[in-house]
Chains A and B, each alone.
Chain A
Amino acid sequence: MLRLFGSLVLFAAALLVATPARVLAQPIAIVGGRVHPVSGPVIENGTVIIDGGRITAVGASVPLPVGARVVDAKGKWVTPGLVNALTTLGLSEVDAVASTNDASAQGEAGIAAALRAWDGLNPASVLWTPARNEGVTSVVAVPTGGLIAGQAAFVDTLGETRVALVRRAPVAMVANLTATTAEAKSRGDLLMRLRQLLDDARTYGLKKVAFERAATRHFVVSHIHLEALQPVLAGKLPLLVAVDRAADIQSLLDLAKDYRLRVIVQGGAEAWRVAPALAAAKVPVLVSALDNIPGSFDALGTRQENAALLRRAGVPVVITAGAIETFNVRNVKQHAGNAVAYGLPWDEALRAVTLAPAEAFGVADTVGSLAVGKAANVVVWSGDPFEFSTRAEHVYVRGVEHVERSRQDLLSDRYKTPGRE
């Protein structure tokens, strides 16, 4: 897409990539755009200054730093980079090819709390670029499978190493309470297992010394999993729980109260039916904005107004691309737009794919809005970011604009002239 800016920009970008130090040395001034900081009101004809990988100024009248590279954003929209909070980006290349899947662990009876998803993160995946080129600057990379899948990471979409990609990890412990998961025979069974696990983890936490002397009772899983659950019990690490049925969400809220857990609901097909309880408990909900099919007996009340109804009730809403995405991480935009079509105010939709996920996963201090001091994850759009016809013209991840044709682009380029052999 950035090809439109001609070879000069590409040449400059190549230089930037080749010498990142120089990139960071030169401030970038995005001027004249319609700036949506998310953390504040819209600024028409606003300026965003990026320096040293961070946002150093946002406003209507901001002096340009000496030597700044000026990006003319007249007629453009400037927003924080988008976040897709439910992905296996970097953890899975080809879904049907097991050797390329790194999102799950064998675990013990459906428990893999110690799995650190970011251990399997692949910086060389070809799927970072299409996500980034369409304005997604961060994702939550989640482990999958079992009752407790493991630990998720908040990841930026540009980085040459695993360590460089990760913004913060862990940001959540991933669990699944939909009736079809794990080896559980019923929802009571699922909750029983979860309580048993949490009780064991709590006991383990209190009796580590005794455990090492083999002077504790038997625990359901190995100590590595019990150890990994300590931050969850301490209320420091949220439990991200896939759950759809209204009654199950209520059960989760009860459990969270009993164990003083921080929880995030994922999916939440019927969350709108318990919106006041979710709001009171300040529990964020990750929702699709396209689902309207009663696809399971857990999700009979699925409706597209879910996001709007939850937000109206005061629930923190995070919009994802529905299912755990890899190839189409980029479609978080489409979901945000559909949420608007089904009643969510536009500003709230933008928040739901930027600041809201940053807040839910505890990284809002460094990312999620256009605010001074935050990492410069910034996108300049040709128009409304949720519209299909809009292009992400400049995408900055930590202040770096990495211009790169994706593998999909290269294939299209190769074959766009008919009859090529």
Chain B
Amino acid sequence: MSSAILLLWLAQPATAQTPPKPPAAPATTPPTPAKEETKEPDPGKGGLSVPRDDPFPSTYKAPVSPPFAIRNATLLTAAGPVIPNGTILVRDGRIVAIGATVDVPAGTTIIDAGGKFVTPGIIDDHSHLGVYAAPGVDASSDGNEATKPNTADVWAEHSVWPQDPQFPRNLAGGVTTLQVLPGSANLFGGRSVVLKVVPGRTAQDMKFPGALYGLKMACGENPKRVYAKSGPSTRMGNVAGYRAAWIQAEQYRRKWDKYLAEKDKAEKKGSAPDRDLTNETLAEVLRGNILVHNHCYRADEMAQMIDIANEFGYKIRSFHHVVEGYKIADRLAAAGIAASIWADWGGFKMEALDGVKANAAILQGAGARAIIHSDDPSGSQRLNQEAAKAMAAGAAIGLPVAPADAIKWLTINPAWALGLDDKIGSLEAGKNADLVLWSGDPFSVYTRTDKVWIDGVLRYDRSAPDTRWRTDFELGFVPAEAR
């Protein structure tokens, strides 16, 4: 069993050994003793619970890049059939034209792909890069705030170490966008962050501008094992925990929405409600401003999570791992919930027992939105290979998936799961120029990435090793040959 899998089900080695802290105090603080105050204090910006607030704004800026065109490429667009001998024209970081015949303005730099494949940049919607950085030492184990079952108040970006040497390796694997999630120890693990796989001095330098936050939730074995002593210790305890939290969050949302709607009116004199980060994140889910990413293995538990979402009026954007997705492929399709899965993991715990390689193909066949994710820094570098395994497994049971569809598992489908399908995930005019030029068929074991662009900027070039991104950590520690 790989260490990555252990990481998953142990939640977090360092904290798993620590006895869980006693149940947290109620998430809301006692009401302000308004009587004793002579005047209303100015809550400042930090005192307000504002929808779509952005206190840690992205500082990512794509460098200016000259226009270029890739000619004579086999284009797997994730937006239609394969285009052989296609051309793609990029200007100002965007795809401006794509097709069998494209007018390329004179003077544009031309890259002849020589028939090689070009795909959209790979998107991994389940990563722990930066929050479980390499080398894997306790001091860098920042992915699971396994101290209480509901930590919707924590934000993954506050754990992201931009010098994690796994980032450049991911880029070399063709990954251009990552969703970094908190771990799965908790019912509510916290907010995710969407990153561009680019060098940065800060997490904000890597943040995808305008991307919505996600909320990590987790079903099943992990929370009940981590909190066995203090609760929840059962699956029914898990469900009670979700529902109790949503009840509070809904009250919080109403209070704040009412306050925010009235606060600028002259007659409004009441004090601001107390701000609470846990409820704030959940309230944002209820408002539709944060997308739910729900770690859940078993078919029956997913059905219950869908009922909970219906009870409280929020949507689950994607289930993650979904080892039994193939058992409810029709229902996932009907509910419009994506299934972010591994190609071939299973068996490592009871809720993963029924993992099958044909999961993606069966989901695809039922019209569900399948995504191959990694949850693993090695697998993330080779999501194309993972997809190839899933394709083969589909073919073996009479459910072949064409390359033009399989590429969607790695591109436009995860783009949708992140709410970014209007910007990335396919080769279409107007989209960000996140591109991968492969040495051959991306579904072959022998194929490697040759070049990777993000927003039209060449970020990885296999033929120019000296230009490769090396993190601060690697300097001196990692031999130059091993980058």
**Does A19 count as interface, using CB distance less than 8 angstroms?**
no
Q: What 0/1 readout, one digit per residue, does chain A (315-348) give for beta carbons within 8 Å of chain B?
A: 0000000111111100101100110110000000
**Are A389 and B3 touching (Cβ within 8 A)?**
no
Q: Which of A296, A333, A386 contacts B136 (CB 8 A)?
A: A296
**Are B445 and A338 touching (Cβ within 8 A)?**
yes
**Are A324 and B1 touching (Cβ within 8 A)?**
yes
Q: A293-B169, A295-B3, A328-B344 are in contact. Are A416 and B349 (CB under 8 A)?
A: no
Say how far B307's CB is from chain A's closest CB, in angstroms: 18
Q: How far is the CA of A334 from the CA of B395 in the complex (A)?
A: 18
Say how far A143's CB is from chain B's closest CB, in angstroms: 14
Say how far B13's CB is from chain A's closest CB, in angstroms: 11
**Does B221 count as interface, using CB distance less than 8 angstroms?**
yes
23 interchain pairs, CB-CB under 8 A: A96-B350, A291-B378, A292-B378, A296-B134, A296-B135, A297-B135, A299-B135, A300-B479, A301-B478, A322-B2, A323-B1, A325-B1, A326-B1, A341-B445, A341-B446, A388-B443, A408-B355, A413-B397, A415-B362, A418-B333, A418-B362, A418-B367, A419-B330
Q: Which of B3, B353, B382 contacts A323 (CB 8 A)?
A: B3
Q: Which residues of the partner chain A approach B366 to less than 8 Å between Cβ atoms?
A: 418-419
Q: A341-B445, A388-B388 are in contact. Are A293 and B348 (CB under 8 A)?
A: no
**Does A21 count as interface, using CB distance less than 8 angstroms?**
no
Q: Which residues of the partner chain A approach B358 to less than 8 Å between Cβ atoms?
A: 412, 416
Q: Which residues of the partner chain A approach B446 to less than 8 Å between Cβ atoms?
A: 337, 340-341, 386-387
**Does B415 count as interface, using CB distance less than 8 angstroms?**
no
**Does B326 count as interface, using CB distance less than 8 angstroms?**
yes
Closest 6 CB pairs of A and B: A337-B445, A96-B349, A388-B388, A418-B366, A327-B347, A303-B482
**Are B377 and A293 touching (Cβ within 8 A)?**
yes
Say how far A297's CB is from chain B's closest CB, in angstroms: 5
Q: How far is the CA of A290 from the CA of B386 in the complex (A)?
A: 13
Say how far B359's CB is from chain A's closest CB, in angstroms: 8
Interface size class of A (residues with CB under 8 A): 35 or more
**Does A224 count as interface, using CB distance less than 8 angstroms?**
no
Q: How far is the CA of A273 from the CA of B480 in the complex (A)?
A: 12
Known: A294-B473, A297-B135. 15 other contacts (CB 8 A): A93-B347, A94-B347, A95-B9, A293-B134, A300-B478, A300-B482, A303-B481, A334-B445, A337-B445, A387-B445, A388-B443, A389-B388, A408-B355, A408-B357, A411-B354
**Are A389 and B478 touching (Cβ within 8 A)?**
no
Residue in B closest to A273 when the chains form the complex, CB atoms: B479
Q: Which residues of the partner chain B approach A415 to less than 8 Å between Cβ atoms?
A: 326-327, 329, 362
Q: Which residues of the partner chain B approach A95 to less than 8 Å between Cβ atoms?
A: 1, 5, 9, 347-349
Residue in A closest to B6 when the chains form the complex, CB atoms: A95
Q: Which residues of the partner chain A approach B326 to less than 8 Å between Cβ atoms?
A: 411-412, 415-416
**Are B392 and A388 touching (Cβ within 8 A)?**
yes
Residue in B closest to A288 when the chains form the complex, CB atoms: B378
Q: What 0/1 readout, one digit per residue, does chain B (135-147) give for beta carbons within 8 Å of chain A?
A: 1110000000000
Say how far B212's CB is from chain A's closest CB, in angstroms: 29
Q: What 0/1 readout, one digit per residue, does chain B (322-365) give for beta carbons within 8 Å of chain A?
A: 00001101100100000000001111111001111110001001
Q: How far is the CA of A248 from the CA of B118 in the complex (A)?
A: 43
**Are B347 and A411 touching (Cβ within 8 A)?**
no
Q: Which of B333, B349, B362, B478 contacts A294 (CB 8 A)?
A: B478
Residue in A closest to B358 when the chains form the complex, CB atoms: A412
Q: What 0/1 readout, one digit per residue, does chain A (185-214) give for beta carbons within 8 Å of chain B?
A: 000000000000000000000000000000
Residue in B closest to A337 when the chains form the complex, CB atoms: B445
**Are A387 and B344 touching (Cβ within 8 A)?**
no
Could you tell me which residues of chain A, from 219 to 263, have a CB within 8 Å of some CB in chain B?
Answer: none
Residue in A closest to B221 when the chains form the complex, CB atoms: A96
**Does B278 count as interface, using CB distance less than 8 angstroms?**
no
Residue in B closest to A339 when the chains form the complex, CB atoms: B445
Say how far A43's CB is from chain B's closest CB, in angstroms: 23
**Are A300 and B136 touching (Cβ within 8 A)?**
no
**Does A12 count as interface, using CB distance less than 8 angstroms?**
no
**Does B165 count as interface, using CB distance less than 8 angstroms?**
yes
Q: How far is the CA of A296 from the CA of B271 in the complex (A)?
A: 52
**Does B181 count as interface, using CB distance less than 8 angstroms?**
no
Q: A293-B169, A296-B136, A340-B446 are in contact. Are A389 and B392 (CB under 8 A)?
A: yes
Q: How far is the CA of A183 from the CA of B360 in the complex (A)?
A: 43
Interface size class of B (residues with CB under 8 A): 35 or more
Q: How far is the CA of A291 from the CA of B165 in the complex (A)?
A: 13
**Does B474 count as interface, using CB distance less than 8 angstroms?**
yes
**Does B396 count as interface, using CB distance less than 8 angstroms?**
yes
Say how far B353's CB is from chain A's closest CB, in angstroms: 6
**Does B72 count as interface, using CB distance less than 8 angstroms?**
no
Residue in B closest to A1 when the chains form the complex, CB atoms: B396
Residue in B closest to A346 when the chains form the complex, CB atoms: B446
Say how far B248's CB is from chain A's closest CB, in angstroms: 32
**Does B82 count as interface, using CB distance less than 8 angstroms?**
no
Q: A94-B350, A327-B347 are in contact. Are A295 and B448 (CB under 8 A)?
A: no
Q: Which of B346, B392, B445 contacts A408 (CB 8 A)?
A: B346
Say how far B304's CB is from chain A's closest CB, in angstroms: 17
Q: What 0/1 readout, one digit per residue, does chain A (382-421) give for beta carbons within 8 Å of chain B?
A: 0000111111000000000000000011011101101100
**Are B1 and A94 touching (Cβ within 8 A)?**
no
Q: Which residues of the partner chain A approach B354 to less than 8 Å between Cβ atoms?
A: 411
**Does B391 count as interface, using CB distance less than 8 angstroms?**
yes
Residue in A closest to B365 when the chains form the complex, CB atoms: A418
Q: How far is the CA of A412 from the CA of B443 in the complex (A)?
A: 22
Say how far A193's CB is from chain B's closest CB, in angstroms: 23
**Are B377 and A94 touching (Cβ within 8 A)?**
no
Q: How far is the CA of A96 from the CA of B351 in the complex (A)?
A: 10
Residue in A closest to B363 when the chains form the complex, CB atoms: A418
**Does A50 count as interface, using CB distance less than 8 angstroms?**
no
Q: A95-B1, A301-B482, A411-B356 are in contact. Are A387 and B346 (CB under 8 A)?
A: no
**Are B448 and A341 touching (Cβ within 8 A)?**
yes
**Are A416 and B479 touching (Cβ within 8 A)?**
no
Q: How far is the CA of A45 from the CA of B397 in the complex (A)?
A: 30
Say how far A90's CB is from chain B's closest CB, in angstroms: 13
**Are B330 and A389 touching (Cβ within 8 A)?**
no
**Are B482 and A302 touching (Cβ within 8 A)?**
yes
Q: A96-B349, A327-B347 are in contact. Are A294 and B134 (CB under 8 A)?
A: yes
**Are B1 and A341 touching (Cβ within 8 A)?**
no
**Does A215 count as interface, using CB distance less than 8 angstroms?**
no
Say how far A373's CB is from chain B's closest CB, in angstroms: 32
Say how far A284's CB is from chain B's closest CB, in angstroms: 22
Q: How far is the CA of A334 from the CA of B479 in the complex (A)?
A: 26
Q: How far is the CA of A323 from the CA of B391 in the complex (A)?
A: 24
Say how far A187's CB is from chain B's closest CB, in angstroms: 16
Q: How far is the CA of A300 from the CA of B393 in the complex (A)?
A: 35
Q: Which residues of the partner chain A approach B481 to less than 8 Å between Cβ atoms?
A: 303, 305
Q: How far is the CA of A320 from the CA of B219 in the complex (A)?
A: 33
Could you tell me which residues of chain B, from 430 to 483, have a CB within 8 Å of some CB in chain A?
Answer: 443-448, 473-474, 477-479, 481-482
Q: Which of B9, B329, B344 contacts A418 (CB 8 A)?
A: B329
Say how far B415's CB is from chain A's closest CB, in angstroms: 24
**Does A97 count as interface, using CB distance less than 8 angstroms?**
yes
Q: What 0/1 readout, one digit per residue, does chain B (391-426) give for beta carbons within 8 Å of chain A?
A: 111011111000000000000000000000000000
**Are B397 and A412 touching (Cβ within 8 A)?**
yes
Q: How far is the CA of A285 from the CA of B426 in the complex (A)?
A: 42
